[in-house]
Amino acid sequence: MSRPRHDFFPPSSKKMPAPEHGIRVKEIGSTWWGQRWIEALDKISRDYAKRLARGRTYARTGRVHDLEVTGGEVTARVTGSRPTPYEVHLEIVALPDATWSKLVEALSSEAIFSAQLLAGEMPRDIDQAFERVGASLFPGAMELTTECSCPDWANPCKHVAAAHYVLGEAFDRDPFLLFELRGRARRDVLDALRRARGGPSAKKPARSRAARPRVVTLAGVTPETYERPRAPLVAPRYHVEPPPIHAAVLRQLGEPPSWSLREPPGELLSPLYEAAGNLARRIALGEPEDEAGAGSPTRRSR
C-alpha cells in the first residue's frame, strides 16, 4: 500500500459542511466480506489509529461523495477543511486472465460455491478457492495503492480511510464489487460459472434399427393381484425444510435480454417465491396459518 507524499501545510481551523449528496454510512462491515475489507485496512494501518477514527467519522457524516468504481480503480471526493474537496484514488491489482480461468474452474467444482454466487451471496469459504489458484479475494498491502490530494503524509490519511469505509458498506450491499475490483464484472463471473456448471451438451445415442424392443412378462400375476402389494407397506415418513436459497433457479438463469429494471428478477421475485414455498410447506404439513397471513411476501433488507 503506497501513497505519494505531499509537502505539509497547516489545515484550516474550520471544516467545510458536508455536501447534501454525500454518502452517509450507517453500518460499516455488516457482512463478513465487508468486515474482512475493514479488517484489511486496520491491519495495514495500525500506526494511524487516530486517522482511521477520523475517517470513520467522515464516512458517517457524509463527507465522501462522487465515489466511482471502474475496474480495479476507485475514485472519490472528500470534503474536509478546504473549499475544494480532496481527490482520493484507490487502485487494486487486477488478477490475470489465466488466474480467473482457474478460479472459475475451482468455484464451479464446488456446488455450494456456485449456488451461493448465482444467488447473489458471497460464500464464506470462497478465499479457499482463491488460495487454490495462488490468489486472494482481498488485496494485501502490496496490492493496494492509495493517493490523496491532501497534505497529510500518513498512509492512509483520514480521507483515504473514509473512502475505504464507504467502500466497505458498498461491499455489504453488493459483494460482486470485490470481483470487479479484482478485474471481473459480476455478469462475466456468473456467465462463466453457468457455462462451467452446465458443461457440454450430451448427445443422446442413436437407437439401432436392429435393436428389438424388450418384452416384459407378468408371470404368476392375475388381474386380481396386480395392484396388491406383495408385502406390508411401510408408512411414509418425510421431512420438509425450506430451501437454503429462495428462487435459486431464477437467479441462476440471470436477467432476460428484455429486462429493464434496476433490480435483477431473482432479487425482485425472491420474496414471492419464499412466500409461496412457505405456504406450500404449511399446507403439506397441516400447520395453521400465522397471524401475518399465509404466504404474504415480506421484503428482506440486505
pLDDT at 124: 82
If you average pLDDT over every residue of the chain, what do you get?
77
Residue 275's domain comprises 265-297
Residue 299 reports pLDDT greater than 80 = no
Looking at the 3D structure of the chain, how many domains does it have?
A: 2
Instruction: Determine the Cα–Cα distance for residues 141 and 299; give it in Å rounded to an integer.
Output: 38
- Choosing from 161, 183, 205, the residue where a domain stops is 183
- Which region among 39-53, 149-163, 271-285 has the lowest average model confidence (pLDDT)? 39-53
Express each pLDDT in 198-251 by its tens digit.
744 334 444 444 445 555 566 666 777 777 776 777 777 767 777 777 777 777
Model confidence pLDDT, tens digit, residues 149-207: 998 887 788 899 899 889 888 888 888 888 888 888 888 888 888 888 774 433 444 44
Q: What percent of the chain has pLDDT over 90?
A: 10
177 in a domain, yes or no?
yes
Residues 177 and 64 grouped into a single domain: yes
pLDDT of residue 58: 92
Write down the pTM of the prediction: 0.58
Same domain, 173 and 56: yes
pLDDT class for 78, splitting at 50, 70, 90? very high
Q: Domain for residue 163, yes or no?
A: yes
Both 171 and 288 in a single domain?
no
Mean pLDDT, residues 19-29 taken together: 83
Per-residue pLDDT at 152 = 85
* Boundary (domain end) residue, out of 126, 156, 183: 183
Looking at the structure, tell me whether residues 165 and 285 fall in a common domain: no
Identify whether the C-beta of residue 212 lies closer than 8 Å to the C-beta of residue 272.
no
Cis peptide before 156 (omega within 30 of 0): yes
Q: Tell me the β-bridge partners of 68.
A: 75
The answer as to whether 190 is a domain residue is no
Q: Which three cell numbers stand for residue 17?
A: 459542511
Residue 220 resides in a domain: no
Contact (CB, 8 A) for 129 and 106: yes
Report if residue 37 sits inside a domain.
Answer: yes
Q: Average of pLDDT values for 288-300? A: 51
Cβ 56 vs Cβ 49: under 8 Å: no
Q: Is residue 275 part of a domain?
A: yes
79: in domain: yes
pLDDT confidence band for 76 (50 / 70 / 90): very high
CA 116, 118, 121, 126 dihedral sign is positive
- Once rounded to an integer, what is the mean pLDDT over residues 59-71? 89
Long-range contacts at 194-202 (CB < 8 A, ≥ 24 apart): 194/118, 194/252, 194/254, 196/104, 196/105, 196/107, 196/108, 196/114, 197/108, 197/114
Structural domain contains residue 55: yes
Average pLDDT over residues 44-68: 82
Cα four-point dihedral sign 112, 37, 301, 190: negative
pLDDT at 298: 45
Lookup result for grid cell 460464500: 123
Q: Residues 42, 178: one domain?
A: yes
**Of 152, 138, 158, nearest to 51 (Cα)?**
158
pLDDT at 44: 65
Q: Tens digits of per-residue pLDDT, 91-101? A: 888 889 999 99
